[in-house]
A and B are shown apart, each in its own frame.
Chain A
Amino acid sequence: MPSLKNTEADPPPIRKKRQIIDGSLLVLSAFTALAGIAVFLSSGAGRALEIVADTFTFLAVLSPKIAAGIFIAATLPLMLPKEHVGRLIGRESGLRGLLIAAFCGAAIPGGPMMTFPIAAGLGVAGADLGAMIAFISGWSLLGLNRTLIWEFSFLPADLVWTRYLLSLPVPILLGLAVRTFLQVRK
């Protein structure tokens, strides 16, 4: 993979620590606590405990996948060559730039706290808005890590395939739409 950094010579980048408890976690916790209480009241403690046990069994089955996914999500960004990507998907990059942007978006693991800073960074490095939106949409609709770890674990395979294949051209079409829109407005 020549696209990765020449890591032998460079030291690894320093990561910022993330806040573990934030607003979204609190909202999620409140939602879960309320739902748990509602189940306890409507179906009794036995059923509520059964759901808890089922959840832990499911987590145990998922855990190797989650562990590998977490390792990828944490490590890949350390090694991503941001400057290189910016050159590949700049303003003059045409359809090829949109394809690369959408592909990079799909390949990038990790959540929005990673994707949007990278997208903004791409803009600084010379990518146009069309490519940035192809990148964000590629991540939103086609994120491989998310589909492989979560989507296939929860939803029927044929449904996941249908959604994924139908969404395949979308990031590129959205990138083209944005480029056309901006051209017309000029």
Chain B
Amino acid sequence: MNIIIGTFVIGAAAVLLWLKLPNGEWRLASYLASIDTFLFTAPRVLIALLGAGFFAELLPENEVRQLLGEEAGIAAVLLAVVLGPLTPGGAFVSFAIAAAALKTGASPVAAIAYVTSWSLFSTTKIFAYELSFMGRRATLLRILVSLPVPFVISGLSYAW
């Protein structure tokens, strides 16, 4: 159901954007950019989803439940926050891993902590892009002020 709603929203946005393209030259540039983006994205998505599928099969259910389940409490959140930044690859990898962990017994609060921590502190993003474009001072300052966020968000989601 989510997939259908999302497909409609994204599809409508794409059509609107296409209608904004003023002439043939712009449409051609947009198609070329789309092909370029597709060639970049497609292998990553395919390999990441395959990897996530294999990974989910390998996750040891008992350990996941023990380390990341409801019972583990704060320790689960801490572990999730540490694991987030270490996740390689793009958004689909972290969401797929969170989904696999949920299925094998991780608590929703831990999943939220993991996704939030990945969003803010993904080491791939920081080392490959942020440091080189934003510089060390801006990057450090951002990380510093953002440090409490995964804990606050997962704490609030627990209370929710």
Contacts and interface: CB of A to CB of B under 8 A. Distances in A.
Is B a genuine binding partner of A?
yes
B34 A24 contact: no
A31 B48 CA distance: 9
Given A61-B3, A137-B120, A167-B116, A28 B47 contact: yes
Contact of A54 (B17, B53, B115): B53
A20 B43 contact: yes
Given A39-B57, A75-B17, A28 B3 contact: no
Q: SS class of chain B's interface: helix, strand, loop or mixed?
A: helix
B66 interface: no
A84 interface: no
Interface in A64-104: 64-66, 68-76, 78-79
Query: In which size bucket is the chain B interface?
Result: 35 or more
A75 B7 contact: no
A120 B129 CA distance: 11
A32 B10 contact: no
Given A79-B20, A129-B141, A132-B134, A35 B51 contact: yes
Interface string A34-64: 0110110011000110011011001101101
Contacts of A111: 90
A138 to B, nearest CB: 11
B95 A68 contact: no
Contacts of B91: 143, 146, 150-151
Contact of A51 (B53, B116, B142, B157): B53
B157 A181 contact: no
A154 B38 CA distance: 21
Interface residues of A, number: 88
A166 B153 contact: yes
A116 B43 contact: no
A149 interface: yes
A106 B107 CA distance: 27
Interface of A: 1, 4, 7-8, 11-13, 15, 17-18, 20, 23-25, 27-29, 31-32, 35-36, 38-39, 42-43, 47-48, 51-52, 54-55, 58-59, 61-62, 64-66, 68-76, 78-79, 110-113, 115-117, 119-120, 129, 132-133, 136-137, 140-141, 143, 145-146, 148-157, 159, 162-163, 166-167, 170, 174, 177-178, 181
